[in-house]
Amino acid sequence: MNVQTTNKSAKGKLLIATTVLITLVVWLTATPAMSITALDKARHVIGGLSLSGLFLVFLLSTRNKTIEKWFGGLDRVYVYHRYLAIASVVAIAVHSALAELVTTVSMPGTSGLSITDLIKLQTAQTGGVASPVITPALVFAYIGAILFAILTLISLFNHSLKYETWRITHRLMLIGYLSGLVHTYLSSKYTLLQFSALSIWTGGTALVGICCAVYIIFIYQRRAFRHRGSVTAIERLGPNVIEIEITLDEPLAFTPGQFAFIKVFQEGIEQAPHPFSISGGAANRITITVKASGDYSRQLYDSLQLNTHVALDGPYGHMDFSDGKANQVWIAGGIGITPFISYLREGAGGQSIEMFYSYRGQEEAVYREFLEAYQMNHPNFRVTFIDTSVDNRLDLGKYVFRDDTCVYMCGPTKMMDSLAKSLRDRKVNADLVYEGFALK
């Protein structure tokens, strides 16, 4: 399950924009060590942008909670992480093409011909016979370019990577990043080892990027999962849904609506962390609800045993119902009901809530009885059930939203994106907060 949370936040975009702006300024205002053409200068600037993009990729990989808030949720961090990686690889490709072009339009022996231009074979004259010379800078350039091309293809066309495979790809990405840095320092026609704004910025972002990469690859697994506990209750709510109670060594401070990454230490169950919404809890006990719709979740449903040790990283997410307006509309799709159940179990607040709960087949409506009972005892709460196996899909086209309304949605990503687009197209003047997930 990939969790996505959408909230409005400009700080994350400002971080990216500021990084790009500073990179452009320091490269465009720097003085090269030799006379170079405008084309060669553009090559250097684009190479600098690719390194800054990769610095941001590794920074966003750390799951830092401050950065998560800047972007309005971990899902938005993942989105920008993905597109920054793609943009960086495109910049590397453009840098490479410009290197070839610079070489083509320059005469050998002039300052326009760099011995370490990316993906270039320098010609050395030996007794009148031309022989290719591959410099160390070229070797690192090849390594970095090839690794990033392969990893980009993997990320674009393989959407079901297991976490351990993901960790391997990130190790390779670190190698590619280091190769690109070495290539830059060996081949640049700018003095990157002398004190200047360019050298400080390039070296500083490189150091932070490397530290972030080392942390997420080698340290995160050991330090982030500091909440330890064990499985103390298991209840199968349906043929594909299981509710798991976890008793932790210490209380976990969470807000109803948040989620956590959970590692399960039981033989036969993958130990890689997976995100799950917290569906309830008090003191040092929490519950999570899992739908068996993928290999990992099926392992939990079929094989999880009592007293199994677990570790948690979190909580994450910003779906805070108590922070919303007095009038709220809730939309839940399938197992996306769990954040709402967590809030209701906590007693909720004094908001006026209208809920739409969509699912396919009565066996999927795992919390229907709870919601019906809650509705009977709370006049400010109303729920509508939509069984898509017999009814049409949820359509809010004719629903009238008051301006003082906050809309919360959680469910499959396609459903959430479709409903969000519908509301935006209607120019609904209501706050919109939603989580989407892709089930694997």
**pLDDT in the model for residue 142:** 56
Please tell me the distance from the alpha carbon of residue 76 to that of residue 156, in angstroms, as a whole number: 17
Q: What is the per-residue pLDDT across 94-103, written as a single tens digit (0 to 9) for each?
A: 887 776 666 5
Condensed to tens digits (0 to 9), the pLDDT of residues 277-298 reads: 888 887 788 888 887 777 777 8
**pLDDT tens-digit map of 406-426:** 888 887 777 777 777 777 776
pLDDT of residue 20: 94
**246, 232 in Cβ contact below 8 A?**
yes
Which residues lie closer than 8 Å to 168 by C-beta, 6 or more apart? none
* Confidence band for 150, pLDDT divided at 50, 70 and 90: low
User: What's this model's pTM, rounded to 2 decimal places?
Assistant: 0.71
Judged against a pLDDT cut of 70, whether residue 238 lies above it is answered with yes
* CA–CA separation, 325 and 329 (whole Å): 10
- C-alpha span between 426 and 400 (Å, rounded): 10
Residue 122 in this model has a pLDDT that exceeds 70: no
Proportion of the chain in helix, strand, coil states, percent, rounded to 5:
45, 25, 30
CB proximity list for 255: less than 8 A, separation 6 or greater: 315, 317, 320, 322
Mode of pairing for the β-strands spanning 285-291 and 241-248? antiparallel
Q: How far is CA 396 from CA 13, 188, 359, in A?
A: 31, 57, 16
Q: Any alpha helices (H) in 106-162, and if so which ranges?
A: 136-157
**What is the reported pLDDT for 49?**
93
* CA-wise closest residue to 309 among 346, 271, 338, 343: 271
Average pLDDT over residues 322-337: 79
Length of the chain, please? 440
Mean pLDDT of 320-346: 79
pLDDT digits (tens, 9 = 90+) for 158-194: 555 565 566 566 667 777 788 778 878 877 788 888 8
Q: Which domains does the chain have, with CATH numbers?
A: 8-223 (1.20.120), 227-316 (2.40.30.10), 321-438 (3.40.50.80)
Alpha-carbon gap, residue 178 to 171, rounded angstroms: 11
**All residues at 6 or more sequence positions from 328 whose CB lies less than 8 Å from its CB, including other chains:** 321, 351, 352, 353, 354, 405, 406, 407, 408
**pLDDT of residue 125 exceeding 60:** no
Token reading at 329: 């509309």
Residue 186, Cβ density class (10 Å: 0-12 exposed, 13-18 middle, ≥19 buried)? middle
Task: Give the residue with greater pLDDT, 31 vs 108.
Answer: 31
> Bridge-partner residues for 191, per DSSP?
none
Find out whether 202 and 48 touch, Cβ atoms under 8 Å.
yes
What average pLDDT does the structure give for the chain? 76
pLDDT band at 3 (very low <50, low <70, confident <90, very high): very low
The answer to whether residue 354 scores a pLDDT higher than 80 is: yes
**Six-digit token string for 277:** 């919404």
Position with higher pLDDT, 42 vs 155: 42
Band of residue 402 on the pLDDT scale cut at 50, 70, 90? confident
Assess contact for 285 and 245: CB atoms under 8 A: yes
- Using pLDDT thresholds of 50, 70 and 90, give the confidence band for residue 201: very high
Lowest average pLDDT, out of 87-101, 142-156, 320-334, goes to 142-156
Average pLDDT over residues 75-83: 81
Which residues are within 8 A (CB) of 169 and not within 5 positions of it... i.e. 6 or more apart?
151, 154, 155, 161
Question: Closest Cα to residue 188, out of 256, 117, 259?
Answer: 117
